[in-house]
Structures are given as structure tokens and as C-alpha cells.
Amino acid sequence: MKPDPARVLETVSMMLIMEFVPQLASSYAQQALAGSATILAVAREEIDRAAARRIEENRVLRQLFATARGVVTDTDLAARLAEAAASEEGSLLVSDLDRSNQALRGLLVRLHAHVEELRGEAARRLEAAIWDELRASTERRRTMLGNF
């Protein structure tokens, strides 16, 4: 048998809700166990999409950085944007994708702060694109329970 983490979490979650929660005498215990089962269900959802979400977000950030290089006036920031835009995932492990994502998001914060200080239509378009991506990244993280 091949252990599929998403399937295991789904099975345990459903077993807790269907078999064990109804057997508990106290409503507090029922709520606590049902809450734990829900957390397992959300974890199952995240396991299933973890790599895809991170890869998509990292790709979008790199594209944003590629277009931003022509707008920024800080040469060090422009160089870092160029380097980040040209980078690729070295591994598909979720922990490695997270490290890449954290570095890219840190650079996005620096870019956003810089762009807010700039004048001109190109800067406003870039700022709008940054806000669009921040909203989109929030939506990518939404779970079956909303913003869990």
C-alpha cells in the first residue's frame, strides 16, 4: 500500500466526524474533536495544492519583477529584480518552494515601498499590478472554509 497523505488525512477526518464525535457525551468534547477533524480536512486540501500554489505564485512574482525593472530607479533593486526574474525553482519540495516564495515576497515588499515613492503613470501601473498580485495571492490561499 502506498500511503497518500491527502487520502490519509481525509479518511481520518471523516472517521472522526462520522464515528467518534457522535459517541462523545460532552458537547465541548464533540466540538473539540470536530474542530480537530476540520483542521485535518484543511491540511488535506493544502497538501493537495501546496506545490502548485507556490509554483504559480513564484512564477507570477518573477514576471512582475521582469516588468518592474524598467520602472525602478534604484540600481541595486533593479539588479536584484533582474536576478530574481531570471531565477528558477531548484527543487519542487514544498519547503524549498516556500524558501523561494519568502525571498521573492521579501523582494516584492522592497519593490512596493520603492514604487510608492516614484511618480508617473508607469509607477502607478506597477503599483496597481503589485496590489493585484497581493489580492490574488490571498485568494490562492483561501481554503474550503474561507480564510481559515
Average pLDDT over residues 135-148: 78
Average pLDDT over residues 56-63: 97
Structure-model confidence comparison of residues 40 and 115, the more confident one: 115
| Local confidence band at 147 (pLDDT 50, 70, 90 cut-offs) | low
Structure-model confidence comparison of residues 42 and 122, the more confident one: 122
- Model pLDDT, residue 122: 95
State yes or no: pLDDT of 143 exceeds 90: no
The percent of residues in the chain predicted with pLDDT above 90, rounded, is 58
Q: What is the pLDDT of residues 73-112, one digit of tens each?
A: 999 999 999 999 999 999 999 999 999 999 999 999 999 9
Determine the Cα angle at 33 with ends 31 and 36, to 5°.
110
Average pLDDT over residues 45-61: 92
State yes or no: pLDDT of 63 exceeds 90: yes
Q: What is the DSSP letter of 16?
A: I
Picking from 32, 82, 33, the residue whose alpha carbon sits closest to that of residue 62 is 82
Please say whether the dihedral angle defined by the alpha carbons of residues 24, 26, 27 and 29, taken in this order, is positive or negative. negative
